[in-house]
Structure 1
Amino acid sequence: MKAGIERALHTAWSKKGGFSLAMWPLSKLYGAIVDHRKAGFLRHPDRIHHDTLPVVVVGNIYVGGTGKTPVVIALVEALQARGWQPGVISRGYGARPSDKPRAGRGTLDPALFGDEPALVAAHTGAPVCVHPDRQAAIRRLRRQYPQVDVVISDDGLQHLALGRDLEIIVQDGRGVGNGRLLPAGPLREPATRLETVDFIINNLLPGEAPPPSLGLARVLNMSMEPARVEHLASGESLSWREWLSKHGQRPCAAAAAIGRPQRFFDMLRHHGLTLAHTLALPDHYDYEQSPFEPLQAESILITPKDAVKCRKFGDARLYCVHPAPSFSDPAWFDHAHEMLKAISSLKLASTHAEELNSEF
């Protein structure tokens, strides 16, 4: 039901039709609220927390999933390879509420951290801290993991109290939709927001055209390709080609509880798999009970985001497809690295200057 409503909304938001026109007055009210909030922070810059470490925000302005988490994972791993020790903060959507931030690394319980933070921690080994108050999350992260020297915020673009040094927007082929703010359109902020960020990453399906570029941001395209497949029950891991050769001729199904499940199904089909059944579940589905029983298939392929919640079922049919992002401009990691080095040096110099001034 929820997934059907979401599909209908996104279809309506792709054009300036009757629904969008009817919602236009509410959209103007929403825009006024957004402007008022921003003006409040401009008048009171002391309300913005600027950390002494570089802070990178990976977010979007299009409501719903656009593929931020694969970018966060890729960025964390790229920075680790270049000598950084990143830590990740997140709101922890879907996690059990807590007054205090939760921090951890390695294998984390998605019920306590949220499925996406648990996935980031499992893939990268980086420390993760979750809390709606991003400043509190940074403080806890740094206190528990003092070796962290750069903070990556998974989402938080609209969290105005969070000071940031680099902004990365991830969008898919829908771009800005009909260009209107919620609820007349899909945007949390005006489309002009794209003109003020550092990087724009277009998460595209094979053959999909990128949206028009805005502003001076470094723009690149990303596509997801299946890299390896893990059997959840045994832990056996095969490359995609090996798995396809071994299992691809048998009846296969796929299930996904992500922002756009069809993207996962299309990726599998594009890379050679025939699917007998597909199961699209709501984003952040809780998996309190297994939804896989009705599927008549020898193999059921799921996403890594779903796998962190599905190991408990012990279903021998479940395989996790680990996709790898491919970027049209891989040098963007080097560019981000150099920018962060410069930012880190400036912050360090500023901190030293403040310490010296406090002595006199």
Structure 2
Amino acid sequence: MSHGSDREAKWLAAWYGKKRWVYALLPLEGLFRFFAAARRLILVRWQQKRVGLPVIVVGNISVGGTGKTPLIIALVNRLQARGLKVGVISRGYGSAAPRYPYVVSESSSAKEAGDEPLSIWRATGCAVCIDADRVAAARILKSAGCDVLLSDDGLQHYRLGRALEIAVVDAARGFGNGHCLPVGPLREPRSRLKKVDFVVVNQTSLESDVTYERGYYNMRLQPKHWFKVKDLTRLPLDYLASGAHVHAVAGIGNPDRFFATLGKLGLTPECHIYRDHHIFTRENFQFRQTLPVVMTSKDAVKCQSFAEPEWLALEVDAVLEKRFWPEFEHALDALLPYE
């Protein structure tokens, strides 16, 4: 069952199903690529600002979810384990904060902070600052005493200088038809991956089934535990019996991966798909059939205020292949202390 935009579904089908009608827009792709390249040149050469701290950008070159948030959480945990005070910069898509820059706190709601920033703050406790002006957010985090900054979905935000770039690719979707907007799903040409420091491929196992023009690192999302949406009580993965039918609600970039994960846990999902960053209401959960309700941790932060006591969310960990961390640590050591 889909509750998403028909228009959005049409574009996704064209990009990833490689429909021919979209190639009529090739002249527009040429304009998009020209202006994107010109914008990058202007920002990098004349407007880019550095804030006196190492900035690690985590982003992607395609439209839609690729698994950036779990990776950011894993990176924050790794940096915190080294004793570093970490700050995360986010645009806060869909947020309605009372002011900007906005620092996420215990009193923040998903409406104020946005779903991803609040999810990151809850998972790590690190400082998270929201502002479309990422330079302003970075300066706030620097003044708060942070040692290193992560910029969420910041690959194309060239005004903020960066020390390292990590691009995340969704192996299930790949690059679609390989074209840039509006003909394809790419924000920048695939050649952009040659210029980043790390390419992380989000796939169901650490066995690669996607080939690239340069070295890359595999990542999978591993279920960690369930938690109750209402009060955050943690529950084991076998809390729901194998074979159980559930209402699976997802308002994320690639809901199919969530549904596939539920299947691997032995569950049978009745799928309810919404647009990425959908603002849920109680009415979205008026189902005809009475079944357990499950969702992603990103969606849970938007449903806590009206959730039923037994609604569950799945927490996942980003598990990277072993060779990633030594090479990431080596790159980090070259930055610290940051001059």
Does TM, normalized by the shorter one, top 0.5?
Answer: yes
Render the CA deviation track for 1:35-66: whole Å, top value 9, x for unaligned. Answer: 2112323542xx11112111000000001111
- Distance change in 2, residues 1:203/1:50 (3 Å): same
Give distance in 2, aligned partners of 1:234 and 1:39.
Answer: 48
- Give the conservation status (yes or no) of the 8 Å contact 2:95–2:113: yes
Name the counterpart of 2:157: 159
Aligned residue for 2:315? Answer: 322
SS at the partner of 1:296? coil
**Distance change (3 Å), C-alpha of 1:57 and 1:220:** same
SS in 2 for 1:337: helix
Question: Retained in 1: the 8 A contact 2:116–2:298?
Answer: yes
Assess if the C-alpha contact under 8 Å between 2:244 and 2:268 holds in 1: no
Q: Which residue of 1 aligns with 2:134?
A: 134
Is it true that 1:244 corresponds to 2:223 in the alignment? no
Give the alignment partner of residue 219 of structure 2, picking from 217, 222, 229. Answer: 222
Cα distance in structure 1, aligned partners of 2:278 and 2:17: 28
Counterpart secondary structure, 2:181: coil
2:325 maps to which residue?
A: 333
Work out the CA distance in 1 between the residues paired with 2:149 and 2:127.
10
> Which has the greater radius of gyration?
1
**Counterparts in 2 of 1:100 and 1:314: CA distance versus 1, 3 Å:** closer
CA contact (8 A) 1:107 1:122 kept: no
| In structure 2, C-alpha distance between the alignment counterparts of 1:249 and 1:179, rounded to whole Å | 38
Q: Deviations over 1:159-198 (max 9, x none)?
A: 1111001101111122222111100111111110010111
Distance change >3 Å, CA 107–CA 205, structure 1 → 2: farther
Which AA in structure 1 matches 2:309? A
Secondary structure of 1:343's counterpart equals coil
* d(CA) in 1 for partners of 2:126, 2:94: 20
Equivalence for 2:124: 124
- Alpha-carbon spacing, 1:324–1:132, altered in 2? closer, same or farther (3 Å): same
Whole-angstrom CA distance in 2 between matches of 1:209 and 1:336: 20
Mapping of residues 342-353 of structure 1, within 5 Å: 342-345=334-337, 347-348=338-339
Q: 32-41 or 204-213, which moves further after superposition?
A: 204-213
- Mark the CA change 1:79 to 1:185 in structure 2 (over 3 Å): closer, same or farther: same
- Does residue 14 (structure 1) correspond to residue 19 (structure 2)? The answer is no
Higher helix share: 1
Match among 27, 31, 42 for residue 25 of structure 1: 27
CA positional deviation for 1:311: 1.2
Q: 1:155 to 1:85 in 2, by over 3 A?
A: same
Structure 1 residue 231 corresponds to structure 2 residue 228: yes
Structure 2 stretches of 5 or more lacking a match? none
Q: Sequence identity of aligned pairs in percent?
A: 38
Alpha-carbon distance in structure 1 between the residues aligned to 2:223 and 2:309: 20
Tell me how far 1:234 sits from its aligned partner: 5.0
Residue-pair matches, total? 336
RMSD: 2.1
Kindly provide the amino acid, as one letter, of the partner of residue 318 in structure 2: P
| Matching residue's letter, 2:176 | G
Q: Tell me what 1:353 maps to.
A: none
- SS of residue in 2 equivalent to 1:313: coil
Structure 1 segment 179-198 matched on structure 2, within 5 A: 179-198=178-197
- RCO higher in 1 or 2 (8 Å CA, sep ≥ 6)? 2
SS of 1:123's equivalent in the other structure is helix
Which residue does 1:355 correspond to in 2?
none
Output the TM-score relative to the length of structure 1: 0.87
- What is the CA distance between 1:114 and its match in structure 2? 0.8
Letter paired with 1:135: V
CA–CA separation in structure 2 for the residues paired with 1:321 and 1:269: 13
Shift of 1:339: 1.5
Cα distance, 1:235 vs. partner?
4.0
1:39 to 1:10, Cα distance in 2 relative to 1, 3 A: same
Any conservation in 2 of the 1:108–1:122 contact (CA below 8 Å)? no
8 A contact 2:94–2:111 mirrored in 1: yes
Q: Report if aligned partners of 1:58, 1:170 keep a CA contact under 8 Å in 2.
A: yes
Aligned with residue 150 of structure 1, among 145, 148, 151: 148
Q: Find the aligned partners of 2:72 and 2:83 in 1 and give their Cα distance.
A: 17
Amino acid at match of 1:160: Y
Change (3 A) 1:122 1:97: closer
Deviation per CA, 1:219-273: give whole Å up to 9, x if none. Answer: 11112122101123454322213x134xx45442211110111211111102211
Aligned partners of 2:42 and 2:307: how far apart in 1? 51
Q: Distance in 2 between matches of 1:307 and 1:34?
A: 35
Distance in 1, Cα, partners of 2:106 & 2:323: 28
Give the secondary structure class of the aligned counterpart of 2:298: helix
**Deviation by residue 1:296-318 (Cα, 9 ceiling, x = unmatched):** 23311111011111111131341
Structure 1 unaligned residues grouped into runs of 5+:
349-360
